[in-house]
Amino acid sequence: MFNLDFTFLTWDMFSKFVLKGFLFSIELTVIATLGGIAFGTVLALMRLSGKKALVLPATVYVDGLRSIPLVMVILWFFLLIPFIIGRPIGAEISATITFIAFEAAYFSEIMRAGIQSIARGQIFAGQAVGFTYAQNMRLVVLPQAFRNMLPVLLTQTIILFQDTSLVYAIGAYDLLKGFVTGGKIYGRVEEVYILAAFVYFAICIGLSFATRRLQAKIAIIR
């Protein structure tokens, strides 16, 4: 039976070991979300273009990455990118590139559904005032699609934050790595896993609550 002792959890321990990992996990989540949405929107537009030369590669990319476990993609990028460019890039940079590429496949499906949810009349109205396809998407369709899909995008971001713990597999210094490093220094490994789980749980529950509140407000606006 474990003899749990949490007295080692002080600001000194948190600031020395956990804070750095926490900041990287947040940074990775934000960058991967923004990059994934941008890249994912491009993929969604490619799949909706109706042009086989655009639809096929986008479909292969999206369906391919969505069929592979994230931890395997993390390991592939970590091992292959240095081999391709001929020099190491570091676990944190590799993780950032991996998450943008991987999450784009999921965000693209969300954006595709959001674009398809816009009434055709909106598109026809844009065409009637002389908008090109690009202008119609940028000024009419995408702003409405983003608003409709915002709760789903935020939910995917919460999942993304949880998944950042997988970068521990390549040695990146994330939130989990910070807890484990501190736990080894203080000799309390069991306790830090419990604390890490609690922190992930608290953050995700808080974000989920905020997302539900936002979803309710959007529903009222509609």
What are 146-188's pLDDT values in tens digits? 888 888 899 999 999 999 999 999 999 999 999 999 988 888 8
Predicted pLDDT of residue 82: 84
Do 82 and 88 form a contact (C-beta atoms < 8 A)?
Answer: yes
Angle at CA of residue 148, ends 147 and 150, nearest 5°: 60
Contacts of 212 (CB under 8 A, 6+ apart): 151
Domains and CATH numbers, the chain: 23-221 (1.10.3720.10)
pLDDT of residue 189: 85
Q: Indicate if the pLDDT at residue 11 is higher than 60.
A: yes
pLDDT in tens, 130-145: 787 778 887 888 888 8
- Cβ-Cβ contacts under 8 Å for 109 (sequence gap 6 or more): 40, 44, 62, 66
Q: What is the pLDDT of residue 148?
A: 80
Percentage of the chain beyond pLDDT 90 is: 55
Who has greater pLDDT, 200 or 114?
Answer: 200
Contact 112, 48 (CB under 8 A): yes
Phi-psi region of 173 (alpha: psi -120 to 50; beta: other; left: phi over 0): beta
> Model-level pTM?
0.88
The DSSP annotation for 154-177 comes to: HHHHHHHHHHGGGGGGGT---HHH
Look at residue 206 and tell me whether its pLDDT is greater than 70. yes
| Opening angle at CA 213, ends 211 and 203, nearest 5 | 45
Cβ atoms of 152 and 110 closer than 8 Å: yes
